[in-house]
Structure 1
């Protein structure tokens, strides 16, 4: 494994720049801290004037703080509505909890009812999740404060005022505008620079280049995956920015990868950067893993990579584009030596230098002029693509909706049972703070699709609580008695917790535990006893939740992964079939690229589902799952390669070539649907017997094995885009067939 310390200061600098695309984490942390500070300031002023206690209004402050991270709707308008709607479950459930607090039996039944409603509300997307979580938090505050009916007006006013502060902070003070896109784009360029530095390390120095590639490979794969994620962030940031603007414009392309005489929208620039970065990586791997090592070739490669990185730095800083004589010399050297893999590498690296700088500079200019790109509105409406999914085979939105409802019902049963047991067991540890056990048993079921995810999230919560207890006790000893330091530490902990929420659940829980410890110290309570009870209750709640997840209606991790694989294959099938339609109808090139972006998102969801078997904190290492994930990643890469090279709108493309590409795409679409069906219905494969195994072709057509790739006649020539598209389809077909053979040997599918 390659140590990051060997890559130098610049790699760490770029790593820091790329760690927070769009400055999303920084903005969320600032929103939370400023919301709490502003709300507390207003309540501190109003409480004495109204003759109320500040502590009684704290639930509204906490609800507003959680609203910062819980409200995650797709559009700004939906986020505003959701944030305003938080007042309804917050106040309604608080009243319910207060009225039932005096009767232990009704109190427990009411809490379980709120948990059930919260889980069921997740069926309605991000808004349902936010409203349900706020309801659970409000019930806990009702139990904790033990207030009377006379305090309701003040609590209601404090909650509404705090939510108004959260609204102002989120949508006025820290709104998502132009700079989110600017920083997301710069983070994407930093990630590209990190990738080139890793490739430079793999190609430099003495020794066996194949061994160096093997050591650098995990970091290279990680950077490619994060480059894809950064690209999605750029597109998401631009869509949000478009909500704030009305005038549409496009970015003119000055790069070698021109898509024709039309203006080029932003997604094409993003797509081109991703594709050429992946092509540079793939072609360098071919060179370094060849049997014959040529030191002179590697020296030329290292020199060219070192020259390409300043180009990206110039694009990120909007400086003048540096000259690239070494890149031009490398292309000429590859032509003279007739080294085809080196030629492909040199051309791809040259494309990186041209695309990244010139189009990035034009994007900055368009922002300065207050013009807005329209990334998903092409010049002409998209043609109708009538590809009806087969509901009987388990495909389609209706079948997926039914699966989601069944999964939500299962989660509701598990959460209710775990919450009931946590209430009973939590009282045995602490009759006054038993709700911490209920919280722990409840939250580990949020955004976890399998028992593997639940186990990992439970372990992270216990570890985070333990770290928070240790750090909290140490900090309390240092600042106890200094009110200003204690208040400052609470705000720092709030900011750090929300800043790290998207990075590590462990560190977020650590920061929350530190907040609790310092807050109790500020109130003059015994901190050590409180934090120890919190750890014990958390550990108890996690154990109960994990046991329930394993024993009651369990969802195994592997079937969840296989379901995600089937969804991705169905997306691939729809993409290939739509590509055939676009080719025959001579549609605009942008349609294929738009469609391929969905594959990237589906691949990310698949990787997230497989995290219990491939992340840093794993329960079981699954070689077969990792191999299948690798094959599907290559399949998506070839699909994107098709999108980058296919030119449906090219008038010079002959009807014969169009039909050839369309037929191959249709055949590959049928193959992907057959693979998806094999994953959906493994019993069919088992019943067929080894002599009658399905050929993974939904229509029964014979699928030919991969044919030889077309190569240029001369080393210096570029392949026509249509030939590149056909090669991509052949490679995708080969990978799909290999995935089918991997399914045959994967015994976990039939379990």
Structure 2
């Protein structure tokens, strides 16, 4: 439905449309923002009717309006029944919290102490799963509104009348108009993967023609985005009614590998006009997601074609296979309910930090404004949602302050220019609601839209916006300062410690791929090296997220070229581990001697990875004394596979020509290049100066 509404815009500017679709795999953010906006529109009509008829006072709709904006975004449980249950519990507990806040609001300081207790419990439980997060956040805001509005007990039933309107509006939008359809979502994700592939080809073409540092960084970014889209698609495969989920997973991995071979071949060959035309033609197919004819097999043995042409033909076949997968996920969703989301551990340290930060913010906020101190407390509270280290907290605070400051300026301008034009104010407010949730992944921009919307709302109520938004900025600064003090002084979780743990998880996942490959080669049918390779991709994604605060700080102090960082080496290791995993899945194409050779070579590499893990686990972080600790990476091929060492190593991230060969040659080449990448990774992790995964930033 979302695609059907917006698809005509694509004819106006196809490149922009393709980038828009590719930037939001499966249109997940677009769907979430549309749900919120429609829910607010439907609930707004109902709440306005209640106010006009005199059933609810004007301020009495605040509870229903606030929860209407949050509920569609917070319903993330797997399965429709679970989301409906979460919505019901969210409304029920919000009503109880609102009543409790309203009744104790006159009792100072009891109300403030209980507010801190609510914050402690909300942060403590937020890591338990999506249902806990939705209910706790809704209860926190409802308790806050009860204290802030402090309606008399006789008015409470009228205020609570807004909750049924909220529940009906959200239910209609989320379960009738725009329901979660796993198969439809998967089809959109597959289209996004194809369009992202086209963007990678475009970046690879620019890099091959120009070869600048910026072109290489762009190519790396596009590859990472493609991998992330593939991970999202694989996560959605589990909830789809696909006829063969394993076939779908394999096609996605094969597409990524074929694309990497094309990029490697483009770097290793001179791009002729004919090959450039072939790349552009194939890029057009990926943009359209349509293959007009059946693609034949690629005959590698005895072929005189260039490696680039062979790689392009293989990528063409892989793209056609993914495009044809739409038929596998067609039809209604009749699958059994997916398993519930795993329950996380209680967030004790963050609960203590958030409560202390809220207490400090409360003291500073009351000193600044006895009526609006809640803004400072809310800022301190939300700073500890979804963070894992003090670096994450500091980065989130910076985004919130910047978004609030810029939103204050824009809000004052909009409120001034649109004063007396209610229709225009309403239109801009709707755009701000949509933008705030669509850009939620970019926290500063989301806060910018929320601040502009707040200025428009208060302006429409006749309140002077300039001093109010300035006060919001000051209260935000107080809450941010309190959060910084608490994050760095109370039970701090260092960013480097988290980076080290995430890096260790990557190394463990890499070792698991090699172990699963050996098991598959030994005839264990239950072994799945391909699944382990996807777990490796997820570990890399977690490490990339953990590195963001360090990279952001260093880019401000001293820009560091990507070539100086070791993260691309880990990406290279993951690529060759994936090639090895795919080759092991094709064990029927491998001879007995090949399987024995590959098993022995992968076991040696597994021992090497284990030695690296042992070295990183030691407190001294000394260089490991594993079987290849002192080996020249150029000799790894001979030790790992029993084949002669190559004359020179390929560039990091560049597949060798042998990767395009049949299964046995591809597997040997994968181990060869993986060994070389491990040698380079060892140098980066245990080189001169600081050791460990902090060198990745």
TM > 0.5 fold call: yes
Mapped partners of 1:152, 1:659: distance in 2? 75
Per-residue deviation at 1:700? 14
- TM-score, structure 2 length as denominator? 0.86
* Structure 1 residue corresponding to 2:466, chosen from 528, 541, 544: 528
Higher mean alpha-carbon deviation, 275-284 vs 420-429, is at 275-284
Aligned to 1:220: 219
Pair 1:724 & 2:663 matched: no
Structure 1 residues 603 and 133, CA gap change in structure 2 (3 angstroms): same
Does 2:529 align with 1:592? yes
Match of 2:292 in 1: 320
* Inter-CA distance 735–76: structure 2 relative to 1 (3 Å threshold): farther
Name whichever of 732-741 and 98-107 sits farther off.
732-741
Tell me the equivalent position of 1:558: 496
Provide the secondary structure at the position in 2 that maps to 1:104. coil
Deviations 1:720-749 (A, max 9, x none): 312211221232233223323322235264
Work out whether residues 509 and 532 of structure 2, in 8 Å CA contact, stay in contact via their aligned partners in 1.
no
State which of 191, 211, 215 in structure 2 corresponds to 1:186.
191
Q: Is the 8 A contact 1:456 1:618 kept in 2?
A: no
The answer on 1:203 being equivalent to 2:208 is: yes
Alignment of 1:366-377 (within 5 A): 366-367=328-329
TM-aligned CA distance change 1:118 to 1:514, over 3 Å = same
How far residue 166 of structure 1 moved from its aligned partner, in angstroms, is 1.2
How far apart, CA to CA, are the structure 2 residues paired with 1:78 and 1:307?
46
1:654 aligns with 2:591: yes
Q: Which residue of 2 aligns with 1:335?
A: 304
Residue of 279, 292, 301 corresponding to 1:305: 279
Matched, 1:412 2:351: yes
**d(CA) in 1 for partners of 2:420 and 2:659?**
76
Structure 1 residues 699 and 281, CA gap change in structure 2 (3 angstroms): closer
> Unaligned regions of 5+ residues in structure 2, if any?
1-12, 645-656
Matched, 1:477 2:416: yes
Instruction: Give the drift of 1:369.
Output: 6.0
Query: Displacement, 1:181?
Result: 2.5
1:609: Cα distance to partner? 0.7
**Partner residue, 1:269:** 251
Question: Matched residue of 1:646: which SS?
Answer: helix
Deviation, structure 1 residue 435: 0.9
Q: Please list, as runs of the form range in 1=range in 2, the aligned pairs for 1:40-119 lying within 5 A after superposition.
A: 40-47=44-51, 49=53, 51-119=55-123
Question: Structure 1 32/716 Cα, relative in aligned 2: closer, same or farther at 3 Å?
Answer: closer
Distance across 2 between alignment mates of 1:92 and 1:680: 49
Q: In the superposition, relative to structure 1, how do residues 717 and 364 fare at CA in structure 2: closer, same or farther (>3 Å)? A: closer
CA distance, structure 2, for counterparts of residue 673 and residue 76 of structure 1: 43
Deviation digits for residues 245-302 of structure 1, max 9, x if unmatched?
xxx5249xxxxxxxxxxxx721122111111112212332344xxxxxx5xx544432
8 Å CA contact 2:240–2:329 kept in 1: the answer is no
The residue number in structure 2 matching 1:459 is 398
Equivalent position SS for 1:706:
helix
Give the drift of 1:623.
7.2
Cα distance in 2, alignment partners of residues 700 and 670 from structure 1: 14
On the 8 A contact 2:285/2:291 being kept in 1, the answer is no
- 1:646–1:722 CA contact under 8 A, matched in 2: no
Q: Which moves more between the two structures, 609-618 or 212-221? A: 609-618
How much does 1:563 deviate? 0.9
Match of 1:506 in 2: 444
Of 313, 332, 339, the match for 1:350 = 313
Aligned-CA RMSD value:
3.6
Closer/same/farther in 2, CA of residues 521 and 126 from structure 1, 3 Å limit: same
CA spacing shift, 1:583–1:445, aligned 2, 3 Å = same
Residue 369 of structure 2 corresponds to 430
Residues 514-570 of structure 1, C-alpha deviation per residue, up to 9 Å, x if partnerless?
Answer: 111111112111111111100111112112211222233222222211110001111
Give the drift of 1:436.
0.7
Q: Which runs of 5+ in 1 are unaligned?
A: 1-8, 243-247, 252-263, 288-293, 337-342, 377-397, 687-692
Contact 1:462/1:539 (CA < 8 Å) preserved in 2?
A: yes
Cα distance in structure 1, aligned partners of 2:628 and 2:512: 13
- The size of the alignment, in residue pairs, is 661
Which residue is equivalent to 1:671?
Answer: 608
Task: Find the aligned partners of 1:748 and 1:106 in 2 and give their Cα distance.
Answer: 51
1:734 aligns with 2:676: yes
Residue in 1 aligned with 2:550?
A: 613
Partners of 2:659 and 2:666 within 8 A in 1:
no
1:52 alignment partner, SS class: coil
Closer, same or farther: CA 333–674 of 1 in aligned 2, 3 Å: closer
1:639 aligns with 2:577: yes
Say if 2:577 and 2:674, in contact at 8 Å, map to a contact too. yes
* SS state at 2:566 partner: helix
Q: 1:322 to 1:570 in 2, by over 3 A?
A: closer
TM-score of the superposition, structure 1-length normalised? 0.80
Quickly say closer, same or farther: Cα 1:696–1:40, change in 2 above 3 A. Answer: farther
Q: Deviation at 1:64?
A: 2.8
**Aligned pair partner of 1:137 in 137, 141, 152:** 141
Kept in 2, the 8 Å contact 1:265–1:373? The answer is: no
* 2:243 pairs with 1:249: yes
Are the aligned partners of 1:476 and 1:521 in contact in 2 as well (CA < 8 Å)? yes
The question of whether the paired residues in 1 share the 8 Å contact of 2:384 and 2:393 is answered with yes
- Flag the 1:723–1:610 CA change in 2: closer, same or farther, 3 A: same
The answer for the alignment partner of 1:31 in structure 2 is 35
- 8 Å contact kept, 1:675–1:740: yes
